[in-house]
Amino acid sequence: MRSPAVAAFEFDNSYARELEGFFVACSPAQVPQPALLRFNRELAQELGLNADALDGSIGAAIFSGNELPVGATPIAQAYAGHQFGGFSPQLGDGRALLIGEVIDRHGRRRDIAFKGSGRTPFSRGGDGKAAVGPMLREYLIGEAMHTLGIPTTRALAVAATGMPVRREEILPGAVLTRVAASHIRVGTFQYFAARGEYDKVRQLADYAIRRHYPELAEQPQPYLALLRAVCERQAQLIAQWMHVGFIHGVMNTDNMAISGETIDYGPCAFMEAYDPRTVFSSIDTHGRYAYANQPLIAQWNLARLAETLLPLIDSENPQQAIAPATDIVQGFTPRFEMHWLAGARAKLGLTTEDDADLALAQDWLELMRANAADFTLAWRRLSDAAAGERAALDALFADASELQAWLARWQERTVRENTPADARADAMRRANPIYIPRNHRVEEALAAASERGDFAPFERLLGAITQPFDERPDHAHYVSPAPAEVTACYKTFCGT
Ligand code: AMP
Ligand code: MG
């Protein structure tokens, strides 16, 4: 069935049109009881869609997969991936479908894709389905990242299907509609490279350059330039994650987007008490994707991307391409460090540069670690301390003398800034959020919505995390970390 004209999407499906052999055409499953659980009106408007027409039964029919909008060309994309270090040559969209692309109001090409829309030729043993809770989680975290200014895919809608999903328990089913700059992953390159289909790797690289890095097309070495550009965007992205305490949880190469957006919010979570070794994912038993490992893993994934590009960089003798490609991948570390330090300066309220700033930032983190201080609150209360409000900061640190010693160094440094303290406090409060999606609050909101159909906690939490820098009395519920015993056994699960 096709939806009415009022719900028109102006599709321009370049992936389906230009990349024959990179996907399998596939239709979404029909569902018995479509219902729109959440619709992102702001994002719909940004995409040039008719938000009024979609926010109701027409939207329920479309975003559950029951009625495809005119011009949709649903496809399951092929990709491979290193999962926890081991290579799977064929993953692909096992429960997702790219339904098309639109050009948004800012002229940017955006993918519109379903997740949980039924089985595809890539499903292997999976059921192709998704449950309400994890899809609402993806909605929440995407919106949080977006308002924190971190490049991310976003959710346009979550629709209930009325179909049960069998996991450890029976859960209500849902389809997420995800909007992304594209769904090209490191694993998409790996899929064709692993088959030795380098004509396809080249076709994909050319497409990725046109779509994400058009300024590189005329470079003498466009594929090296592509690798450098992807490294640069990942260096920026991971630095931004680190500064909000985000742990992706499953940084497999199939979950790393060439566009530089965060993708696939499965077992992700935000750290509370600062400990660089923090892991939340139930399946990450060796801590491969622990908080502090994320830059190293990003670089490891980029090395896998580099390998796929070697025969493109030097088609006569790919061995010759190893040295320049390795240089670029190694360059990730200084680029990451540069972005991290710039972010740390902003969080510390510093607008000028001093050689001692890195040590100042690192010592602050070490102080947080030694005191198991809440990462978000420590930064935020430091911002308040810039305005002379010390009590809330002091309460986070058991060791008052160490804190005092560090604050004295920081204050001595800020004096040399020549900016008024109030302006510094304001700037710091715009760099240090008060509200992040705290794990226990996310669980509370998802449980109410999924188990009782009560969306009030979800809406309240979404309200707080989409104004993350403005502390308000009516959002007090979202300030404090979970009790230690809750955090100690907090685990997130993927694939649900
Ligand atoms: P993820 O861990 O969500 O990034 O997924 C890894 C791979 O497993 C991808 O190829 C997914 O399409 C596939 N997958 C995950 N869950 C399911 C499911 N319920 N049914 C079919 N495929 C799935
Ligand atoms: Mg994935």
Check if the beta carbon of residue 62 is closer than 8 Å to that of residue 34: no
Residue 12 in contact with residue 104, Cβ under 8 Å? no
Question: Looking at residue 488, what is its pLDDT?
Answer: 75
Calculate how far, in angstroms, residue 116's C-alpha sits from the geometric centre of ligand 1. Answer: 9
Nearest CA to ligand 1 atom 23: 94
Q: What mean pLDDT do residues 355-375 have?
A: 98
280 compared with 112, residue with greater pLDDT: 112
| CA separation for the pair 250, 228 (Å, rounded) | 23
Give dist(CA 78, CA 313) in Å, integer: 23
Q: Is the pLDDT of residue 1 over 60?
A: no
Q: How confident is the model at residue 330 (pLDDT cuts 50, 70, 90)?
A: very high
User: Taking residues 395-408, what's their average pLDDT?
Assistant: 97
When pLDDT is cut at 50, 70 and 90, the band that residue 490 belongs to is confident
Encoded tokens for 67: 């009625």
The CA distances from residue 230 to 32, 196, 226, 233, 302, in Å, are 42, 22, 6, 5, 8
Cβ–ligand 1 contact at 255 (below 6 Å): yes
Ligand 2 midpoint to CA 123 (Å): 12
pLDDT band per the 50, 70, 90 thresholds, residue 494: low
CA of 83 to the centre of ligand 2 (A): 10
**Locus of tokens 């965007």:** 233
Question: How many whole angstroms separate alpha carbon 83 and alpha carbon 86?
Answer: 5
Rounded to whole angstroms, the Cα distance separating 248 from 289 reads 8
- Residue reference for tokens 């009881």: 33
Whole-number percent of the chain with pLDDT over 70: 98
Residues 432, 382 contacting (CB under 8 angstroms)? yes
pLDDT, tens digit (0-9, with 9 covering 90-100), for 26-72: 999 999 999 999 999 999 999 999 999 999 999 999 999 999 999 99
Q: Give the three-state DSSP class for 406.
A: helix
Q: What percent of the chain has pLDDT over 90?
A: 94
Average pLDDT over residues 15-25: 98
pLDDT at 231 over 60: yes
Q: Is 143's C-beta closer than 6 angstroms to any atom of ligand 1?
A: no
How confident is residue 162, by pLDDT bands cut at 50, 70 and 90? very high
Express each pLDDT in 438-485 by its tens digit: 999 999 999 999 999 999 999 999 999 999 999 999 999 999 999 877
Residue (of 270, 294, 236, 281) closest to 465 by Cα position: 270
DSSP state of 98: E
Q: Beta strands 170-180 and 130-131: pairing type?
A: antiparallel
pLDDT of residue 71: 96
Which of 83, 88, 95 for a ligand 1 pocket mutation test, highest count of atoms within 8 Å of Cβ?
Answer: 95
What's the confidence (pLDDT) of residue 496? Answer: 55
Atom 3 (ligand 1) nearest CA: 495
Share the mean pLDDT of the chain.
96
The number of C-alpha atoms within 13 Å of 471 and in the hemisphere containing its C-beta is 16
Is 496 a pocket residue for ligand 1 (Cβ < 6 Å)? no
Distance 160 CA to ligand 1 centre (A): 19
Nearest residue (CA) to ligand 1, atom 11: 94
Question: Band of the pLDDT at 190, cuts 50, 70, 90?
Answer: very high
Would the CB of 209 count as within 6 Å of ligand 1? Answer: no
The Cα 54–Cα 32 span in angstroms is 19
Task: Tell me the average pLDDT across 234-238.
Answer: 98
End-to-end CA distance of the chain: 28
Q: Kindly indicate the confidence band of residue 495, based on its pLDDT and cuts at 50, 70 and 90.
A: low
Indicate if the pLDDT at residue 418 is higher than 60: yes
pTM (2 decimals)? 0.97
**Residue (of 230, 240, 289, 239) closest to 260 by Cα position:** 230
Read off the pLDDT of each residue in 265-293 and give the average, rounded to a whole number: 94
Q: Which of 93, 254, 264, 284 is catalytic?
A: 254
pLDDT for the residue numbered 90: 96
The encoded tokens of residue 470 equal 């403005």
Distance in angstroms (rounded) separating the CA atoms of residues 249 and 227: 24
* Arithmetic mean of pLDDT, 173-195: 98
Residue 363 has pLDDT above 70, yes or no: yes
> Ligand 1 pocket: which of 91, 262, 264 to mutate (most atoms <8 Å of CB)?
91
Complete DSSP assignment for 153-180: -EEEEEEEEEEEEESSSEEEEEEEEEEE
What ligand 1 atom has the least distance to the C-alpha of 494? 2
Beta-strand (E) ranges in 360-420? Answer: none
**What's the pLDDT score for residue 3?**
65
3-state secondary structure of 349: coil
Task: Tokens 């594929």: give the residue.
Answer: 223
